[in-house]
Structure 1
Amino acid sequence: MANRPAVLVVDDEPRSVEVIARVLDEEFDILTATAAEAALRLLESQWVQVVLADQRMPGMTGVELLAQVRERWPDVARILITGYTDPDDMIRAINEAGIYQFVAKPWHPDQLLLTVRNAARMFSLQREHDRLSIEMKLLGPTLETRLASRRDKIRKGFHFDTLIRATGSPLDETCRVAAQVATFDVPVLILGETGTGKELLARAIHYGSLRAERPFQAENCGAIPDELLESELFGHKRGAFTGAVANRVGLLEQADGGTVFLDEIGDISPAFQVKLLRFLQEGEIRPVGSNESRQVNVRVIAATHRDLAAEVAAGRFRQDLYYRLSAMVLDVPPLRRRPGDVRLLAEAVLAQLSATHGKAVKGLSEDALACLEAYDWPGNVRELQNELTRALVLADRDRLGPELLSPRVLAGAARREDPIRVAGTDSGPLRDRVERVEAAILLETLLRYRWNKSKAAKELGLSRVGLRAKLERYGLAPGSTTRSH
């Protein structure tokens, strides 16, 4: 596939290199090296956007390698795979090698893929920033008009109307209130399950506000320890701690005049809650290691998957901080409460994935869409994106059918749409409960095989006659997944 980002994987364990390459090679061109010296030679001759290095390697550690990469190829994104648990070690590594992000062992494939994907995106944005900076110097006022047009496109791209939903969706009310709130400079707390799109809503609020021309900065507060979070938000002075070899401007100062989005705010420690409360009360930040405070003017939008009111009642979250953050509270409904949105979301996500991966498809079949609409989506939009990515990768025709969906989704859809299902399988006589399970298994298998009875019977260990008898008994036929009960 042309124009894919190139990723260099460096690890002295060939098996580790192989596993990482397998996770990434659907989206990236992979280069590999089992020693730091070999990696540097590759970088001298190859165009690489991201370097992913293991910390523990003989001769030269991952941090030492990435420090050299930073010096010689500063715009290459650097990721370290490590077992670090000491925040001082992590901060030192960040300062010495300018590491974009850590991947902790043992890592999860989805986490690794998302980290590398974001790093490649950061590389592209940095190159675009550098290009625009050069153009600005050369073109002066001429470029300002072009940049203004670009800002308008960004604002439109994060408008409330771009939050995909069907007419009458439960998300309509959330967006209506959010649009009203956007123009008032008050803190907003967004509640919702993981993967529902809370950050997209926060960006829409920012770009619908009077601060739209100023920066939008986002931080996941649940992903890093207090020491790093304080440095990320408030910044630090050179020499403030071991490894702090240069001053760092925190996100709050970077966003001065704009908006800061604090995701997973419910996960911060009681100690950091005090520091954040002081900032919200005073509007001042004090970088780590500094004796001087600085005034910053930012709007704070926070989000969490937790019930913060319950956390306050349980004594795990400060009541005064809760009230500071929740001048307005918005609730993003989970996807299972928005079944009418699934079709539109699936079609839009598939179109975007098709363009991203350069694999043209016409869309999803009606049976596939019916299965998607019948599934509960506990992982919400993020799970839907992963499911459609999998289906697109496996597709061998231009319209995606239900056979490309994962067994988890098919089984979940079959359980919900089983024509004989009156209640769950956890109640009623044993025979009825067993029959409900059997019908769901039959439906899931037939969906995977596009109602090819010969293949389904073979997998289930049944004869065609036996399978046909069971289908008649349970009233199963093509289109069962679309029946309403």
Structure 2
Amino acid sequence: MSPDDLPVVLLVDDEVRSQDAMRRTLDEDFRILTASSADEAREWLTRQEVAVILCDQRMPGQMGVDFLKEVRERWPDTVRIVISGYTDSEDIITGINEAGIYQYILKPWVPDHLLATVRTAVEARTLQQGLSRLELELRTGAPLLKARRAQRLNEAQAVFGFERIIRAPGSPMEGVCAMAARLARYDLPVLVLGESGTGKELLARAIHYASPRQSGPFVMENCAAIPDTLLESELFGHKRGAFTGAYEDHIGLFQRAHGGTVFLDEIGETSPAFQVKLLRVLQEGELRPVGSTRAVPVDVRVLAATHRTLEDEVKAGRFREDLYYRIAGTTLHMPALRERADDIAVIAQHVLRHVAQELGRPEVHFTPEALSCLSAYAWPGNIRELRNEIARAVALSDDVALRPQAFSPRLRCGEAASLAKPSAPELASLPRKGTLAERLDAVEAMVLREVLARHQGNKTRAAAELDLSRVGLRAKMQRFGLDEA
């Protein structure tokens, strides 16, 4: 915090040594102004907002409490503290009440006590100002609160709406988002299925911010990330003393999400014992915090997700059938990235912009060959793996143009294997006329190209796969006019 941002404290004392002592005590935490009389103090107050004023009682011209009465009327937001060496004067006692003195400090004061008093006074002033603003907004019908809530909601929808789920025209995600948008209107449970890293949480947030509960909280918990013994406490809360380490009451996520949405990721990882407790909450609409004898009503919409096939888990006895039908009111399937080949380039461009900005290299871009390499890979880790790969390439490449060489070897191998597969035009180009020997030569040339591409031009491995010597392979390459480079 810069000195200009520190709370301002005005010291009013006609003794310079007393001013200096108070300044040394307070100047690390506050911006200090000094005045030797009430007149000088008024000049400061008319020019500068003052958080706290410390005023000596015995001053020439006007007593401290009399001046602070005026401060209360003209500058009521300033916290008033009086310092005096006298305690038995009736005018001081009466003046303290009339001036609304926050604290009376007796001389000789203790530095630590003085500092603590001023700190508390500033905190009390900040709290009072916040309460006053809230009271004003409530008294005027709370239009400001409504406007702020609407603004925050619009910002959240812009960040988490369905349009923020990156996809190409005609993508399989179009159908998923369209169905999710329809389901979002109704207060139904939704189960999102899909591999890890496909964006299940992103879809759940979009459903929440398109639902009637959009102004309520959205809270999530990864059920696989917390031991089962703690998951109940995290979701449903606990009372002080419920177990070792429970030193205070804890409000669970379900209570925090009251009126909103709870997203339970990887719900398939929960134990049957926990599933019973969760089912009770969903059926009865109330929960009992750990260690409590009183049920607490909760109003939440539950969205759940898992990478497992829950129907198989139900058949295997690892997931309760009644809970499955409770959470799977409707099921949405997030396709894996390999099932969204046309989306890969679009998502990669989007990810690159964010990653390059984070790493301070906004000029970095993909070459067409790099995008082809990314699109050819299967992406078992889905979007999460794609982002990690792009971040690695940006960090390790000094060139502004990212080429296939910037990616991990497994991506380049995947690209070579994809390019090695005969395309429809290649298959169509096979001769339909000619002798058997001529047609077999064409097929043999295609096989040679495929094997060489898959082994990235390594003739030793290609020859071994084809059960040829390197000399024999080279002879066939020359015969069919294949590039030996």
Distance, in Å, in 2 between the alignment partners of 1:210 and 1:391 is 42
Counting only pairs closer than 5 Å after superposition, residues 162-241 of structure 1 correspond to structure 2 as: 162-241=164-243
Query: CA offsets, 1:256-288, max 9 Å, x none?
Result: 000000000111011111111111111111111
Contact 1:184/1:209, CA 8 A, preserved across alignment: yes
Residue of 368, 387, 390 corresponding to 1:388: 390
Alignment match, 2:53: none
Kindly tell me: are residues 359 and 134 of structure 1, through their superposed partners in 2, closer, same or farther at Cα, counting changes over 3 Å?
farther
Alignment match, 1:442: 456
Whether 1:279 and 2:295 are equivalent positions in the alignment is no
Distance, in Å, in 2 between the alignment partners of 1:365 and 1:319 is 50
Contact 1:410/1:444, CA 8 A, preserved across alignment: no
Which amino acid in the other structure matches residue 373 of structure 1?
Answer: S
Unaligned runs of at least 5 residues, structure 2: 1-125, 138-143, 425-444, 460-469
Which amino acid in the other structure matches residue 395 of structure 1?
Answer: S
Kindly tell me: are residues 441 and 145 of structure 1, through their superposed partners in 2, closer, same or farther at Cα, counting changes over 3 Å?
same
Distance, in Å, in 1 between the alignment partners of 2:332 and 2:192 is 5
Residue of 388, 398, 401 corresponding to 1:399: 401
Residue of 274, 288, 291 corresponding to 2:290: 288
Contact 2:421/2:450, CA 8 A, preserved across alignment: no
Kindly tell me: are residues 317 and 476 of structure 1, through their superposed partners in 2, closer, same or farther at Cα, counting changes over 3 Å?
farther
1:135 deviates by 9.6
Distance, in Å, in 2 between the alignment partners of 1:407 and 1:162 is 31
Distance, in Å, in 2 between the alignment partners of 1:145 and 1:351 is 32
User: What is the DSSP-based 3-state SS (H/G/I as helix, E as strand, rest coil) of the residue aligned with 1:248?
Assistant: coil
Amino-acid identity (%): 50
1:147 deviates by 4.9
User: What is the DSSP-based 3-state SS (H/G/I as helix, E as strand, rest coil) of the residue aligned with 2:332?
Assistant: strand
Which amino acid in the other structure matches residue 360 of structure 2?
Answer: G
Kindly tell me: are residues 201 and 135 of structure 1, through their superposed partners in 2, closer, same or farther at Cα, counting changes over 3 Å?
farther
1:377 deviates by 0.6
1:311 deviates by 1.1
Alignment match, 1:307: 309
Distance, in Å, in 1 between the alignment partners of 2:164 and 2:458 is 34
Which amino acid in the other structure matches residue 253 of structure 2?
Answer: L
Whether 1:360 and 2:362 are equivalent positions in the alignment is yes
User: What is the DSSP-based 3-state SS (H/G/I as helix, E as strand, rest coil) of the residue aligned with 2:411?
Assistant: helix
Kindly tell me: are residues 329 and 420 of structure 1, through their superposed partners in 2, closer, same or farther at Cα, counting changes over 3 Å?
closer
Kindly tell me: are residues 318 and 415 of structure 1, through their superposed partners in 2, closer, same or farther at Cα, counting changes over 3 Å?
same
Contact 1:217/1:261, CA 8 A, preserved across alignment: yes
Distance, in Å, in 2 between the alignment partners of 1:421 and 1:443 is 19
User: What is the DSSP-based 3-state SS (H/G/I as helix, E as strand, rest coil) of the residue aligned with 2:456?
Assistant: helix
The count of corresponding residues between Structure 1 and Structure 2 is: 322
Which amino acid in the other structure matches residue 359 of structure 1?
Answer: R
Alignment match, 1:344: 346
The alignment's TM-score, normalised by the length of structure 2, stands at 0.61
Kindly tell me: are residues 471 and 318 of structure 1, through their superposed partners in 2, closer, same or farther at Cα, counting changes over 3 Å?
farther
1:439 deviates by 2.5
Alignment match, 1:87: none
Distance, in Å, in 1 between the alignment partners of 2:217 and 2:377 is 38
Contact 1:414/1:444, CA 8 A, preserved across alignment: no
1:419 deviates by 4.9
Alignment match, 1:378: 380
1:434 deviates by 9.3
User: What is the DSSP-based 3-state SS (H/G/I as helix, E as strand, rest coil) of the residue aligned with 1:236?
Assistant: coil
1:333 deviates by 0.5
Kindly tell me: are residues 189 and 391 of structure 1, through their superposed partners in 2, closer, same or farther at Cα, counting changes over 3 Å?
same
1:472 deviates by 7.6
Counting only pairs closer than 5 Å after superposition, residues 299-338 of structure 1 correspond to structure 2 as: 299-338=301-340
Alignment match, 1:118: none
Query: CA offsets, 1:23-66, max 9 Å, x none?
Result: xxxxxxxxxxxxxxxxxxxxxxxxxxxxxxxxxxxxxxxxxxxx
RMSD: 3.4
Contact 2:254/2:298, CA 8 A, preserved across alignment: yes
Contact 2:237/2:251, CA 8 A, preserved across alignment: yes
Which amino acid in the other structure matches residue 442 of structure 1?
Answer: Q
Contact 1:411/1:444, CA 8 A, preserved across alignment: no
User: What is the DSSP-based 3-state SS (H/G/I as helix, E as strand, rest coil) of the residue aligned with 2:455?
Assistant: helix
Contact 1:407/1:444, CA 8 A, preserved across alignment: no
1:358 deviates by 1.9
User: What is the DSSP-based 3-state SS (H/G/I as helix, E as strand, rest coil) of the residue aligned with 2:152?
Assistant: helix
User: What is the DSSP-based 3-state SS (H/G/I as helix, E as strand, rest coil) of the residue aligned with 1:224?
Assistant: coil
Distance, in Å, in 2 between the alignment partners of 1:165 and 1:135 is 48
1:432 deviates by 10
Kindly tell me: are residues 275 and 418 of structure 1, through their superposed partners in 2, closer, same or farther at Cα, counting changes over 3 Å?
same
1:330 deviates by 0.4
Distance, in Å, in 2 between the alignment partners of 1:216 and 1:261 is 8
Distance, in Å, in 1 between the alignment partners of 2:397 and 2:480 is 31
Contact 2:420/2:449, CA 8 A, preserved across alignment: no
The alignment's TM-score, normalised by the length of structure 1, stands at 0.61
Query: CA offsets, 1:101-152, max 9 Å, x none?
Result: xxxxxxxxxxxxxxxxxxxxxxxxxxxxxxx999966855457634531321
1:357 deviates by 2.1
Alignment match, 1:68: none
Distance, in Å, in 1 between the alignment partners of 2:304 and 2:175 is 19
User: What is the DSSP-based 3-state SS (H/G/I as helix, E as strand, rest coil) of the residue aligned with 1:275?
Assistant: helix
Kindly tell me: are residues 134 and 399 of structure 1, through their superposed partners in 2, closer, same or farther at Cα, counting changes over 3 Å?
farther
Kindly tell me: are residues 437 and 146 of structure 1, through their superposed partners in 2, closer, same or farther at Cα, counting changes over 3 Å?
same
Alignment match, 1:99: none
1:243 deviates by 0.7
Counting only pairs closer than 5 Å after superposition, residues 433-472 of structure 1 correspond to structure 2 as: 436-442=450-456
User: What is the DSSP-based 3-state SS (H/G/I as helix, E as strand, rest coil) of the residue aligned with 1:186?
Assistant: coil
Kindly tell me: are residues 137 and 150 of structure 1, through their superposed partners in 2, closer, same or farther at Cα, counting changes over 3 Å?
farther
Which amino acid in the other structure matches residue 202 of structure 1?
Answer: A
1:473 deviates by 5.8
Distance, in Å, in 2 between the alignment partners of 1:241 and 1:285 is 18
